Amino acid sequence: MGITCENCGAPAQPGVLKCTYCQRPVSAELARHAIPCPHCQEPNLWGAQKCVRCQAWIVVQCVFCGGVSPHNQTACLNCKEPFAGAPERKAQRQAQQQSQQNAQTAAVVGNVAASFLGAVAGGIIGGILDD
Ligand SMILES: [Zn+2]
Ligand SMILES: [Zn+2]
Ligand SMILES: [Zn+2]
- Residue 86 CA to ligand 2 center (angstroms) comes to 25
- Residue 24 CA to ligand 1 center (angstroms) comes to 6
pLDDT in tens, 27-68: 999 999 999 999 999 999 999 999 999 999 999 999 999 999
- Residue 55 CA to ligand 2 center (angstroms) comes to 6
- Residue 25 CA to ligand 2 center (angstroms) comes to 16
Which helix (H) or strand (E) element contains residue 43? strand 43-44
Q: Which ligand is nearest to the CA of 17?
A: 1
- Residue 72 CA to ligand 1 center (angstroms) comes to 26
Q: Evaluate whether 32 touches 39 at the Cβ level (below 8 Å).
A: no
DSSP characters over 77-121: TTT--BSTTHHHHHHHHHHHHHHHHHHHHHHHHHHHHHHHHHHHH
Residue at 17 is within a domain: no
State the chain's mean pLDDT as an integer.
89
Residue at 124 is within a domain: yes
Q: Evaluate whether 48 touches 75 at the Cβ level (below 8 Å).
A: no
Residue at 67 is within a domain: no
Residue at 107 is within a domain: yes
What percentage of the chain has pLDDT greater than the value 70? Answer: 87
| pLDDT value at residue 53 | 94
| pLDDT value at residue 27 | 96
Q: Which ligand is nearest to the CA of 51?
A: 2
Residue at 45 is within a domain: no
Q: Which residue has the higher pLDDT, 59 or 119?
A: 59
Q: Which ligand is nearest to the CA of 61?
A: 3
**The pTM is what?**
0.69
Residue at 99 is within a domain: yes
Domain range for 130 is 87-131
- Number of structural domains (the chain) is 1
Letter string b/e over residues 19-36, b meaning 16 or more CB atoms within 10 A of that residue's CB = beeeeebbbeebbeebbe
